[in-house]
Amino acid sequence: MEQTLVLVKPDGVQRGLVGEIITRLERRGLKLNGLKLMQMTRELAEAHYAAHVGKAFYAGLVEYITSGPIVAMVWEGKDAIAIVRKTMGATNAGAAEPGTIRGDFAVEIGRNLVHGSDGAESAAREVGLFFGDDGLVSWERATDRWIRE
Q: Which of 22, 61, 82, 136 binds ligand DAT (CB under 6 A)?
A: 61
Q: Sign of dihedral through CA atoms 25, 97, 65, 11? A: negative
Q: Which of 1, 36, 39, 57 binds ligand DAT (CB under 6 A)?
A: 57
**Interaction residues for ligand DAT, span 111-130 (CB under 6 A):** 112, 115, 118
Q: Report the alpha-carbon distance of residue 102 to residue 89 in Å, rounded.
A: 6
Nearest to 71 by CA among 8, 124, 122, 22: 8
Residue 16 main-chain phi, psi, to 5 deg: 70, 35
Asked if 104 is part of the footprint of Mg ion (rule: CB under 5 A), the reply reads: no
Q: Which of 118, 124, 125, 136 binds Mg ion (CB under 5 A)?
A: 118
| Interface with ligand DAT (CB under 6 A) | 57, 61, 91, 109-110, 112, 115, 118
